[in-house]
Amino acid sequence: MAARRRRDNAIVAVIAVLAVLGGGRTILGWFADKPVAKSPDTMSTAIIGHARLAESFAEEFVVTYLSASSGQQERLGEYVGGGQQINLPATGRQVSDPIVVFTSRNLSTDAFDVWSVTVSVRVAKTGAGASGNREYYRVAVSVAADGRRRALAVPAAVEPPGRGIDLVLGYQNPCGAESPLAQVASGFLSAYLTGSGDIARYTVPNSGIAALRPAPFTSAETTTVSSDDAGCGVGGSNARVLVTVNPKTASGAAPTLAYPLTMIQTAGQWQVEYLDSMPELREPMTVVAANEGSGGAPTSTATSAPSSAVSIPPATQN
């Protein structure tokens, strides 16, 4: 028993010395569970969530603020502090259709983030038959760690985004209506948009491309086809193609649609491999000059181009 007491006393003495040298927190750190670090995915999700909170708040605030009239100061207390010097008109404006057009995080701390949110709204004009114009307002919004939101100041009217640049597309070769690429692309889009015919005749096996259901159009007339393949399907084994069509519904004509496609030739047959998510761009990337017009846009299928009869596989199911 005496030996056991001497051992226990020695352990207590060691702990006491370590506590003096390193602090009790160091001793406890040996036994406490280590904090679990947040994963990048968790942090990204939180940032996205706070951005959505700031955006929805800014939309509500801009609409409420612009539509408020004198005597409605209390409505603004839900969004911004009472210390603001605010002058409201006798009649509020008619505001609708808010859209968030830009969001950036300008400040981040452990307690809150500050977001700059630009909101576009449609503001009605006065007078009979007048249509509304879009106006743009920027709001600084603080979002606390627990999701609470507050505007730092009232909205500021800002300039709308400027017009962007036009890029030259990579489809430099117009394809005649009888060219192999035009024939297959036209048949494919007719089946895809109208539900008539067997779309599997025009697509690679297991492409995953199915006709739209329900079919939105009753017909689709191909108006232009262009490709990065100078032969438009006469020879070659792969091609990028841009097709424009004029669809019709049961009630009449609909706006022109454009479809970028990736096509490949297998066993002598051209087939659609992908419905591309964006048109192909010219390499190196080129900006359309002022006198270039559409800058590489497709031209009519009536334009002279390589032509060759092409057979379409019989109707099958992938």
Could you list the residue range(s) of the whole structural domain that residue 211 is in?
164-318
Region 174-179: mean pLDDT is 97
Query: Is residue 20 one of the residues assigned to a domain?
Result: no
pLDDT of residue 8: 56
pLDDT of residue 257: 98
pLDDT one-digit tens code per residue, 232-253? 999 889 999 999 999 999 999 9
Residues 135 and 185 in one domain: no
Residues 135 and 256 in one domain: no
Whole-prediction pTM? 0.71
Beta-bridge mates of residue 103: 117
pLDDT beyond 70 at 262: yes
pLDDT beyond 60 at 297: no
Domain closes at, from 117, 140, 158: 158
Determine the residue type at 215.
A
Residues 60 and 128 in one domain: yes
Three-state secondary-structure class, residue 24 = helix
Query: Is residue 34 one of the residues assigned to a domain?
Result: no
Domain closes at, from 127, 158, 189: 158
Taking residue 205's Cβ as centre, other Cβ atoms within 10 Å add up to: 10
pLDDT of residue 317: 45
pLDDT of residue 318: 41
Band of residue 310 on the pLDDT scale cut at 50, 70, 90: low
pLDDT of residue 74: 87
pLDDT beyond 50 at 296: no
Residues 178 and 206 in one domain: yes
Element (H, E) at 263: strand 257-266
Look over the chain and give the mean of its residue pLDDT values, rounded to a whole number.
84
pLDDT one-digit tens code per residue, 58-72? 999 999 999 999 988
Q: How many domains does the chain have?
A: 2
CATH of residue 49:
3.10.450.540
Domain closes at, from 114, 134, 158: 158
Query: Is residue 13 one of the residues assigned to a domain?
Result: no
Query: Is residue 223 one of the residues assigned to a domain?
Result: yes
pLDDT of residue 153: 96
- How far apart (Å, rounded) are the C-alpha atoms in residues 18 and 136? 63
- How far apart (Å, rounded) are the C-alpha atoms in residues 13 and 7? 10
Residues 251 and 129 in one domain: no
- How far apart (Å, rounded) are the C-alpha atoms in residues 172 and 225? 10
The residue among 120, 109, 107, 8 whose CA lies nearest residue 55 is: 120
Query: Is residue 14 one of the residues assigned to a domain?
Result: no
Query: Is residue 61 one of the residues assigned to a domain?
Result: yes
Query: Is residue 153 one of the residues assigned to a domain?
Result: yes
